[in-house]
Amino acid sequence: MRTAIFAAGILLAAGTSHAEDLTIERLVGSPSLDGPRVAGLKLAPDGSRVTFLKGKDRDFRILDLWEYHIASGETRMLVDSDDILGGEEEELSEVEKARRERQRIRSSGIVEYHYSKDGKRLLFPLGGDLYVLEIGADEAKRLTETDAFETDAKFSPKGNYVSFIRDQNLFVVDVETGTEIQLSSEGGDTILIGMAEFVAQEEMGRDTGYWWAPDESRIAFTRVDESPVKLVNRYELSGDGGVTTIEQRYPFAGTPNVTVDLGVVTLEDQKTQWIDLGDEEDIYLARVNWLPDSRHVAFQRESRDQKQLDLVFADLESCTNRTVLTERAETWLNLHNNLRFLKNSDRFIWSSEKSGYRHLYLYDLSGKELAPLTAGDWVVSGIKQVDEKGGKLYFTGFHETPIESHLYSVSLTPDPKSLTRLTVEKGSHNVSVSRDASVFVDNYSAPKVPPRAALKKIDGTLITWIEENPLDGDHPYAPYLDKHVEPEFGTLKAEDGTILHYSLMKPADFDAKKTYPAVVNVYGGPGVQRVRNSWSIDFDQILARNGYVVFKLDNRGSTNRGKAFEDVIYHNMGSAEVSDQVTGAAFLASLEYVDADRIGVYGWSYGGYMTIELLSKASEIFKAGMSVAPVTDWRLYDTHYTERFLGMPDEGDAYEISSVFPYIEGIKPNSLRLVHGMADDNVFFDNAVKLMSHLQEKGVPFELMTYPGKRHGISGQATRKHLWTDTLDFFDRKLSAD
């Protein structure tokens, strides 16, 4: 459950000229009202160009590969996906469909690409095969041409090979000669070689199962045996009345996980050396890295209860392991991707929440902490670059405010006074720093600034725009600006005094003398932050244009506020989150322009769960709610996510307390609208079925909308149009003044 999915997608109809004409038909689909959009921004290793993915005619569904050449200032398309696909629709394998679902990839065409180390080649998958483009060449070179689907392709560190997974086995191909080497043959059925298992992809933030040694002599890889995981039949009901039975191994909370082994295979003779992961088999292999010497493999071993994380160095020559450091927590440990080995010294950088907030620390290879690099009551989000020559570390974080992310630098020679903010514009910044740390690409937005991309010097000085996207008269959203609603930001205090951040949108034609219905857009779960100082055009804008006050609150349990802020949900989901959302609703009700008798709520995934909880526990406040794809019984969700917060199902009453079922009699008749995709492979449709059954047993009437063939994201232009039209109609009916 990585994120909630709320984006409505966007469509601009030709000839539209009035703000009041912004309807759901124009909000869902494409092209984008945000203006020209780019994704996958990357700086070439040699600093000569910025490459990115861009949709056709603002259509972000089919992506092509583009470049901005820095010296000439020219922008050009490098690869047109249609030229390779011949205009035919791309057919994905079931493995790739599942992989993209885990990564929340909704587009097609060229959806990912990679640079070789020297920056002279680009690698991308398309149509199930792999292609390499020499920078300056007119056409891409096809590396594979098989009926199988090649996935998780990577350049080797020196660029001589491309590695990939085919039929659950690991392969490499020589880029120059095209010669393939099959490095494993055991993969198939329940054995996955070099592939990340379901929970690694969905919950652990690990999308791969293999890692190149820096000298490209060998590859570390996982061997995953799925046979211990329960095999369930998932029924995908399609719109034409067909029923497809999908066999899926799903690790329900409290049930066995996969077994994982870690091996290292050499390219020269394809021999495998297995690494000892420890005596305890019921663990998670959280992360794998190589030390710069290509002799040591570093792996992170997480206990099943997620209260202990070991960083272990495996010496491949002596076949010995050494635990370098161990993190422990009373509740749970959050995983991260902030391990960096310094190439020119015997030190490494590690991040930890041991202070209560995620910060960066310097260690030597023995595991001795040398010094903290950052500190304070704020959160570091991720390392962007390490400049050993310049003695600086570049990272993103939330130093000034939890609702804005920025790029910072700090000295590698520990000095708290060296902390420098490099992105000056207010808003949310997503950056990519060049290898030599001389420039960075800044992809950012703010409530008054649609997404834009700039190339900047490392001190933050603008070099040039890659996509300025000015909100002027030519912008596709310009016809609607006179009724565009910007959020207002503020803070409230939770019942324990904790500061909570919120955003509030007033109706487009706001009149302080009138009263309006209000809708709370909720997520509320761990690992997600909803209140951000950023641009957004989504269904909330439609609600505001139709006379609703729209409110969002990041309750306790959500992210980027420190560990204590998150820990309140431990063994007690649906308690502090509900209390905080009720506090937010009480604030709404206190506003003179809000009709306290007409407050609704909607949410997706964890937000769907929260919607049911709020309707059950605070029905005197929330008069109606739409719950999309909710978890209703946490025993029906996966091991890594659920056990992190609730422990094992047989350890106490946490699962019963956190389930929706003890409280659903509090739902008022016909105040709930339940929505679920009938092919959801993340939050199974079983959750909705069980809720329906219990509501019927309790005699609680409710509304229902199911979407045949749709997974957790309920994607598709026509489907989204139907969903949001239905949602608006629901709130119009339930929150009307009549």
Q: For 465-515, what is each residue's pLDDT tens digit?
A: 999 999 999 998 998 898 999 999 999 999 999 999 999 999 999 999 999
State the pLDDT at residue 238: 64
Residue 53 pLDDT level (bands cut at 50, 70, 90): very high
Is 14's pLDDT higher than 80? no
Residue 89 pLDDT level (bands cut at 50, 70, 90): confident
State the pLDDT at residue 9: 30
Q: What is the mean pLDDT of residues 708-725?
A: 91
Contact between 68 and 49 (Cβ < 8 Å): yes
The per-residue pLDDT for range 124-142, each reduced to its tens digit, is 999 999 999 999 899 999 9
Is 11's pLDDT higher than 60? no
The closest alpha carbon to 644, from 554, 578, 555, 567, belongs to: 567
Is 682's pLDDT higher than 50? yes
State the pLDDT at residue 207: 95
Contact between 688 and 706 (Cβ < 8 Å): yes
The per-residue pLDDT for range 531-575, each reduced to its tens digit, is 999 999 999 999 999 999 999 999 999 999 999 999 999 999 999
Is 7's pLDDT higher than 70? no
Residue 35 pLDDT level (bands cut at 50, 70, 90): confident
What are the start-end ranges of the E strands in 70-217?
74-79, 108-109, 114-115, 121-126, 129-134, 141-142, 151-155, 161-166, 169-174, 180-182, 191-193, 210-212
Q: What is the mean pLDDT of residues 89-97?
A: 79
State the pLDDT at residue 85: 87
State the pLDDT at residue 59: 60
State the pLDDT at residue 50: 93
Is 10's pLDDT higher than 50? no
The closest alpha carbon to 629, from 549, 527, 525, belongs to: 525
The per-residue pLDDT for range 252-289, each reduced to its tens digit, is 999 999 999 999 999 999 999 999 999 999 999 999 99
State the pLDDT at residue 488: 97
**228 prior amide bond cis, ω within 30:** no
Provide, rounded to the nearest whole percent, the portion of the chain with pLDDT above 70: 95
Instruction: Say which residue, 204 or 476, is predicted with more confidence.
Output: 204
Going from the C-alpha of 631 to that of each of 45, 256, 386, 690, the distances in angstroms are 43, 20, 40, 10
Is 732's pLDDT higher than 70? yes
State the pLDDT at residue 169: 98
Instruction: Report, as residue numbers or ranges, the catalytic residues.
Output: 605, 680, 712
The per-residue pLDDT for range 235-248, each reduced to its tens digit, is 766 667 677 787 88
460: left (phi over 0), alpha (psi -120 to 50) or beta: left
Q: What is the mean pLDDT of residues 97-104?
A: 78
Is 43's pLDDT higher than 70? yes
Residue 601 pLDDT level (bands cut at 50, 70, 90): very high
**691-699 contacts, C-beta under 8 A, 24 or more apart:** 691/612, 691/630, 691/632, 691/660, 691/661, 691/664, 694/661, 694/664, 695/664, 695/667, 698/664, 698/665
Phi, psi at 150, each rounded to 5°: -90, 130
Mean pLDDT of the chain: 92
The per-residue pLDDT for range 360-377, each reduced to its tens digit, is 999 999 999 999 999 999
Residue 443 pLDDT level (bands cut at 50, 70, 90): very high
The per-residue pLDDT for range 621-630, each reduced to its tens digit, is 999 999 999 9
What DSSP state is assigned to residue 559?
S
